Structure 1
Amino acid sequence: MEDNNTFETDLIHAIFKLVWSRRALERQMLEGTDALDCEVGAGTSKKNRPTSANANALKLSCELLRNFVTEAVQRAATIAEAEGADKIEATHLERILPQLLLDF
């Protein structure tokens, strides 16, 4: 596995943290702030603990994303080539996306 051809773990970790924080805010909005204040031992609650990922999980996530993007580009290129197009357009990606998501 070549490290030069994969996503940076810091980038993927930052994306994960952004998603985790948004979901935490959504949960707070749905539950209301009073529900968290009334909870006994709120500091140790699973809901309030910061979410993290270990280094191996981040490396694996980077590799999975690299494989996913590579496969998407290859499939879209095949469709574009069959249509005689020189560039991959958004419509090519739209056509391959349903099966790609089922395969992954």
Structure 2
Amino acid sequence: MHREKISPDLVVQLFQLHWEESEREKAAAAAAAEGGDGVDGVDGDGDGGGGRAARKISIKDEAVLASAEVLRHFAAEIVHRAVEIAAQDGDDTVDGGHLERILPQLMLDFAT
């Protein structure tokens, strides 16, 4: 059986995006605490870091591969549960309604 893989490059990009968003939020909170407007990037240069250049994060290869595998399992579980709900409804196509029904329990299961 062929198993699809999550691209390690995608995982690195996701980590990088999350890191940058976190840094923007910290900069906005600091600007708000200092009386600034807290808008994306305190200095308006668009880098979101209050004048600092965007920093590349370094992630070890084994962490990237492990994260990719966790994401693969998460996606497979979403598909499996949505297909089960569609089958219970007598549908042969999974739609957004099926996903909406499985997501609350899925989030609880993966949060613990």
Query: Which of the five TM-score ranges fits, normalised by the shorter chain?
Result: 0.7 to 0.9
Distance across 1 between alignment mates of 2:91 and 2:26: 45
In the other structure, the counterpart of 2:64 is: 58
Partner of 1:68: 74
Where structure 1 has 5 or more consecutive residues not aligned to the other structure, the ranges are 36-48
Q: 1:34 to 1:79 in 2, by over 3 A?
A: closer
Gaps of 5+ in 2: 35-54
Aligned to 2:48: none
Query: Normalised by the size of structure 1, how large is the TM-score?
Result: 0.76
Q: Is the partner of 1:84 in helix, strand or coil?
A: coil
Higher relative contact order (CA 8 A, sep 6+): 1
Q: How many residues align?
A: 90
State percent identity of aligned pairs. Answer: 38
- Structure 1 segment 21-36 matched on structure 2, within 5 A: 21-32=20-31
Over the residues paired in the alignment, what is the CA RMSD in angstroms? 2.5
The separation in 1 between residues aligned to 2:9 and 2:67, in whole angstroms, is 11
- 1:52 Cα deviation (Å)? 2.7
